[in-house]
């Protein structure tokens, strides 16, 4: 079990104890332990194996026993028992934006509410208004949160779905009877949220049944929906459906292409095949008009790869991320497909947090982690004072941090920590620091963290004002959305992009898997307006730096190339861009 998973469970224990009304110190100990585990720079499995986990500050004897049980067995009896002592609806309720343990506790005790349905009913009947600590506004927000939760109940974050898909794919790839395998569907297309997992496997027909039973018996499978000769459908423990199809090696590229989609892209490609007197389906090409049948006789143009399929149609390979029928077929025909940015093009990043605000790791830990990724620079952008909930820095702490950065930078000749700030855009559009303070940073990220409920016109004006501030290098998480949880604030995104592109202000692609904001659907528009982008992980722990890969997925899906993204530049180029040399 990895660090993140262990930390999640510790956090959840703390929360459940909170609801039970345990004493605050005990609850806090679990939440603290979760933070400590997340921020560990050492390998957790090794710490457990050597027993050194016991000596980590903040982890006492009882906690280290629990962590050891989790890491070595993948389970924790104490947690299972604790969870079982709650009505199951409680966990569902806590998924509602704005409903935490404190509210759940009150709801349980005063209104005896134990399910989301009961909560929704209580809201519509106006019964929450009367409860201490709740009000009309809270009641409205909770109801909106429930609607959103219901709307998205069958959708999953890309990161969550991909992680689950990879555990199955890896198992398949290890099997000698599996000749090729790949994740298809919306995950392969890097959609930010997905409905289910699609996996395609190439194998000899004689081995299909064995492979499908192994799949159905995978430890992450909770329930088998159907298991046939060539396909099985299951529900995984995280609640997502997963379809696995076993096809003949000769059919594999066709099946992979078909099940990668999107449906609209497939329709376009099939129409193109028709113009060449060909019929295309998930098994192969056949002569148009020939009776659709499976089998060698009909498969008139053998293809070993997707590349071959596209070539047969006079196209160059269209990367999966672009297969949304957004002009990619035309661009491929014209030979004008973009050469998409790749993960390995990234040389650093600009929006990360440290213990100076709400991050879990120190400056030195973050910079070492960035160096381990092979990066040349790491821009730190801790919160400013208005973000009090996130331990935002005042002017004094800013000076202290900048001194510490200078000190740590002395250790490096081939790497530089950049002094940034994530400054709050106040309700008026003014920034949280004076120009004099802003001028002390190497660059400035400006973000909205409050007053989400403004009108579209007011919010647009607010952000436009920040865009035009000469100290602002980039705008952070433009819409503030939290995927599947919270819609972004009302905003005229096109107007802001136009202004930002015109004034040379960057709009970041926030790579946190819950944000992926700027949305890929707007990247191409912004690029056409001349926008430069930055891909930022918004990391609050060392492991968060690797989230840039999700941002690269978004950038690729938005047709971006290496040259469109500032953090593909070398340190020297970035220094020049930020006028640091």
Q: Is 382 in the site for Ca ion (CB under 5 A)?
A: no
Please state the closest distance from residue 262 (CB atom) to ligand DGT, in A. Answer: 5
Full DSSP string of 179-223: -EEEE-HHHHTT-SEESEEEEEEE--GGGHHHHHHHHHT-TTEEE
Both tokens of 418, joined, read 């950049």
Q: Is 185 in the site for Ca ion (CB under 5 A)?
A: yes
How many residues touch ligand DGT (CB under 6 A)?
14
Nearer to Zn ion, 306 or 424 (CB): 424
Percent of the chain that is helix, strand, coil (3-state, to 5) = 50, 15, 40
Query: Interface residues for ligand DGT in 148-187 (CB under 6 A)?
Result: 185-186
Q: Is 442 in the site for Ca ion (CB under 5 A)?
A: no
For the chain, helix (H) and strand (E) counts, in that order, are: 24, 17
Could you tell me which residues are beta bridge partners of residue 242? 197, 234
567: helix, coil or strand?
Answer: helix
- Of 83-91, 160-168, 180-188, 447-455, which segment contacts Zn ion by CB under 5 A? 447-455
- Of 170-178, 189-197, 356-364, 515-523, which segment contacts ligand DGT by CB under 6 A? 189-197
Alpha helices in 455-578 (DSSP H): 456-467, 493-503, 520-528, 548-557, 571-577
Q: Is 262 in the site for ligand DGT (CB under 6 A)?
A: yes
Residues 6+ apart with CB under 8 A from 40: 3, 47, 56
Residue reference for tokens 């143009």? 301
Distance CA 55, CA 64 (A): 9
Binding mask 266-305 for ligand DGT (x = CB under 6 A): xx--------------------------------------
- Of 46-54, 334-342, 446-454, 568-576, which segment contacts Zn ion by CB under 5 A? 446-454
Q: Is 401 in the site for ligand DGT (CB under 6 A)?
A: no
Distance CA 237, CA 160 (A): 12
Please state the closest distance from residue 508 (CB atom) to Zn ion, in A. Answer: 10
Q: Are the beta carbons of 430 and 450 closer than 8 angstroms? A: no
Nearer to Zn ion, 326 or 447 (CB): 447
State CA 581 to chain mean position distance.
35
Query: Interface residues for ligand DGT in 194-253 (CB under 6 A)?
Result: 194-196, 198
Candidates 18, 92, 196, 306: give the one binding Ca ion (CB under 5 A): 196
Candidates 114, 159, 447, 479: give the one binding Zn ion (CB under 5 A): 447
Nearer to ligand DGT, 254 or 533 (CB): 254
Assign 3-class secondary structure to 537-561.
CCECCHHHHHHHHHHHHHHHHCCCE
State CA 215 to chain mean position distance.
26
Candidates 261, 320, 348, 558: give the one binding ligand DGT (CB under 6 A): 261
Distance CA 68, CA 54 (A): 10
Nearer to Zn ion, 262 or 450 (CB): 450
Nearer to ligand DGT, 173 or 267 (CB): 267
Q: Is 357 in the site for Zn ion (CB under 5 A)?
A: no
- Of 72-80, 105-113, 241-249, 314-322, which segment contacts Ca ion by CB under 5 A? 241-249
Q: Is 520 in the site for ligand DGT (CB under 6 A)?
A: no
Nearer to Zn ion, 299 or 515 (CB): 515
Q: Measured between alpha carbons, how far is residue 569 from residues 349, 410, 447, 516 in Å?
A: 10, 22, 23, 21
Candidates 198, 251, 424, 498: give the one binding Ca ion (CB under 5 A): 198
Candidates 18, 92, 243, 422: give the one binding Ca ion (CB under 5 A): 243
Distance CA 498, CA 515 (A): 22
Question: In the complex, which residues of this chain contact Ca ion (CB under 5 A)?
Answer: 185-186, 196, 198, 243
Question: In the complex, which residues of this chain contact ligand DGT (CB under 6 A)?
Answer: 185-186, 191, 194-196, 198, 258-259, 261-263, 266-267
Question: In the complex, which residues of this chain contact Zn ion (CB under 5 A)?
Answer: 447
């Amino acid at each position: 079990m990895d660090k993140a998973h262990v930390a999640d469970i510790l956090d959840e224990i703390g929360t459940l104890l909170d609801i039970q009304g345990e004493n605050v110190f005990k609850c806090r100990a679990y939440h603290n332990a979760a933070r400590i585990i997340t921020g560990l720079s050492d390998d957790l499995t090794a710490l457990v194996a050597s027993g050194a986990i016991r000596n980590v500050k903040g982890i006492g004897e009882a906690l280290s026993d629990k962590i050891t049980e989790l890491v070595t067995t993948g389970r924790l009896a104490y947690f299972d028992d604790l969870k079982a002592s709650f009505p199951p609806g409680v966990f569902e309720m806590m998924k509602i934006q704005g409903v935490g343990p404190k509210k759940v506790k009150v709801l349980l005790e005063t209104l005896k509410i134990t399910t989301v349905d009961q909560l929704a009913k209580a809201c519509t009947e106006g019964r929450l208004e009367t409860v201490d600590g709740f009000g009309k506004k809270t009641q409205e927000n909770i109801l909106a949160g429930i609607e959103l939760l219901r709307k998205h109940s069958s959708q999953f974050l890309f990161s969550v779905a991909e992680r689950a898909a990879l555990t199955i794919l890896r198992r398949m790839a290890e099997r000698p009877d599996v000749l090729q395998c790949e994740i298809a569907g919306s995950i392969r297309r890097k959609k930010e949220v997905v409905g289910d997992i699609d996996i395609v496997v190439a194998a000899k027909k004689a081995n299909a049944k064995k492979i499908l039973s192994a799949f159905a018996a995978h430890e992450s499978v909770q329930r088998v929906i159907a298991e046939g000769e060539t396909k099985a459908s299951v529900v995984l423990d995280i609640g997502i459906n997963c379809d696995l199809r076993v096809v003949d090696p000769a059919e594999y590229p066709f099946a992979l292409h078909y099940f990668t989609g999107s449906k609209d892209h497939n329709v376009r490609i099939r129409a193109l095949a028709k113009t060449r007197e060909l019929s295309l389906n998930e098994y192969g090409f056949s002569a148009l008009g020939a009776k659709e049948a499976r089998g060698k006789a009909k498969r008139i143009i053998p293809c070993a790869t997707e590349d071959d399929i596209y070539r047969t149609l006079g196209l160059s390979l269209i990367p999966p991320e672009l297969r949304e029928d957004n002009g990619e077929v035309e661009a491929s025909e014209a030979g004008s497909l973009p050469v998409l940015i790749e993960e390995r093009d990234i040389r650093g990043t600009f929006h990360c947090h440290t213990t100076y605000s709400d991050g879990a790791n120190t400056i030195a830990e973050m910079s070492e982690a960035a160096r381990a990724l092979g990066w040349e620079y790491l821009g730190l952008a801790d919160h400013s004072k208005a973000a009090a909930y996130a331990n935002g820095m005042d002017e004094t702490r800013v000076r202290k941090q900048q001194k510490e950065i200078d000190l740590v930078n002395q250790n490096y000749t081939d790497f530089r920590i950049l002094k940034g700030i994530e400054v709050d855009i106040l309700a008026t559009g003014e920034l949280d620091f004076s120009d004099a303070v802003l001028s002390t940073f190497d660059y400035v990220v400006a973000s909205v963290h409050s007053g989400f409920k403004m009108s579209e016109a007011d919010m647009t004006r607010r952000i436009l004002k920040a865009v035009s501030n000469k100290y602002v290098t980039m705008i952070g998480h433009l819409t503030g959305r939290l995927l599947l949880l919270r819609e972004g604030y009302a905003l005229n995104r096109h107007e802001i992009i136009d202004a930002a592109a015109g004034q040379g202000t960057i709009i970041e692609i926030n790579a946190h898997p819950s944000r992926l904001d700027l949305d890929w659907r707007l990247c191409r528009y912004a690029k056409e307006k001349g926008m430069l982008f930055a891909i930022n992980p918004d990391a609050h722990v060392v492991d968060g730096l690797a989230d840039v890969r999700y941002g690269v997925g978004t950038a690729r899906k938005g047709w971006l190339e290496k040259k469109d993204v500032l953090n593909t530049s070398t340190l020297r180029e970035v220094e020049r861009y930020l006028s640091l040399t």
